[in-house]
Structure 1
Amino acid sequence: MSLFSVPDTVPSRVLAVYRYLLRAKGHRESRETLERVLMPEGLPLANFTSKKEGQEQPEAEQGLRTEAESAPASALAAGEESKQRGMISRVVRECVSMGLLVQEGDEVMLSPGLPEAARDPKQAEALAPLSLCDLIMHSDNESNHDIVRAIAWYLAFDPQRPPMDWDVLDVDYREEVRSLSMNNSARYGQLREWGCYLGFTWTFSFSKAKNAQLIPDPTEHLRLRLPRLFTKGNVVRPFGDVLAALAGQCGVFEGGRFRRENENAHRSTPLEGRSLTRASAHAWLRLQEEGLVELSHASDADAMLLPEEEDIQRYSQVRWLGEVRG
């Protein structure tokens, strides 16, 4: 299973598990207690398990729903609780699978392999998008690389002219979405939920009557990752070196593992020369407008090419204007 194939595992539920264990004694709890705290008996099931049309429904829940239709009233309450617990149990299971948690007997705990900051309640929540992103993209976590390849693929779209919604993707890009295992709206929903939470996309709606449009824009993710790309503040670095480090840390960007996999599978078009996608270019230029970075070009240096509207901006150097975290 994976985040892509289990629609229960939206970021808010994973964060609920994470927040609880951040503050639990020894960062551990019995799985039974954790699941009962996060899904207390008696909460209305509809509030937690309703899905949009076309979303996947785990086989276990399908069976429970069929049985419930013919079950006597005396058994209904037990069945409702079982379905509720099934949802949170699947979330905990995927937290273990991605490496956020470790299970020991009947207990679960935060993984000892997490960085110290990711286990510190004072820092962990602010860093959670990066911490979860690193876990999902880790080389040992191949079961979740399907959703990462989908994010990398979506970042190749022009942020000013992206696909309108799932209906457009399913018609105009059917071959690509099928090769990404994104074969229904539920998985598109996971791309939307995780892409936005991790800072790679955001949604925009022209009106309440229309579906929200997913915009490829990694600005928020870049903003969080800047301190990891610069060991010192206010120091000029070659832009190409920074982008290479970014690709190594987060393989959805140009030159990164998942971007290359999509190119090799002919899902994404290889970039020419030292060009960036429009989504990446707009993100760097936006961070410069915000005063977080300073882009410049030395005439004797190799420049990266950032498409902007009908023009191409050339930059060979970047300076981060923030503060290095201690």
Structure 2
Amino acid sequence: MADFTARRRHNIKQNELLLDRIQPLITNIEPQPSEPNTNSKSIKRKAGSSRAPTRQSKRIATASARPVYNEDQRVGTSTSRGNAKTSRAASTKRAPPASDPGPRQDAEPSKDVEAIVAGWTAWTPEAGDPSRDDAGTFHFESHPDFRPNKSPEEIIREGSFGGSYWRPLFSKRLRITVQDDWRELPASWTAGLDVDTYLTNAAYNPEVNKYGVACGQSIEEWEAAGWIAHGHDVRGWFQWYCRFWMGRRCADDGRQISRWMKCVGETGRWRRTLLKNVFTDEDDDDDGVGDVSPVVHQTCHHWAYEVRQDALEQFWAEGK
């Protein structure tokens, strides 16, 4: 036993000497944080990261998030009746050189800028005014599937786009600033309105909107996403709707109506979101429509749709 103990001590001493000689060759390795197992059901959400309830009482609905319209979408958001005989060309001016390197070569307009600008007011009305049924829905004879229930004038007067839709707009693609094209709208649409507040406000003001919240994306974001057909409407969807209402028909009609249907048509996602979440609060005297997030209401309003009783009854009866 004494011999075993002596050999053991000798071996320990030899090992210590060996470790002293090789230790400088060992690289210190920092422990790496382990990757979280995203499939684990035991992972908890961070504090404050919980989603807001899909149903909100109108007493506390103060949402200000701006939805992204991605119907193929990155939508959503957001002129001339003119009497085409007296159509006024949009006032444009060249902008100073931009700081960014400019649009990709493959994004350049297929026609020169002057021809594109001239085309905005060169059209003549081809269709008459739409009809409106007892439920408040508009019908366009040339496009029966397009059935909004808010007119452009109603959208403007009730408050939309933060009052900034018709502000001076610099198009990165065309390299021009477009302004004063709101003057192409029928005078009756804007009579008595504070233009600086409801149309050309330089800054988006959510208090102008009918539901008092910000929603949607800027026209600049729409342009960057490729949703603007510059040869027809440099401001996008709502400008197209104004001109369509005033009788213009163009090659972009099918695309814009398709976008409208995906947003607020009978199976549109924003319309269905609105209808699915409308409920009656027993403490309220109204029908509960205001309990749904005002952001969803404002989004639908921008797309010329407002929930009505007939739509609610159909949804409750048929689930669609």
**Which structure has more RCO (C-alpha within 8 Å, separation ≥ 6)?**
2
State the structure with more CA Rg.
2
Higher strand share: 1
| Structure number with higher helix proportion | 1
What TM-score results when the alignment is normalised by the length of structure 2? 0.27
Q: TM-score, normalised by structure 1?
A: 0.26
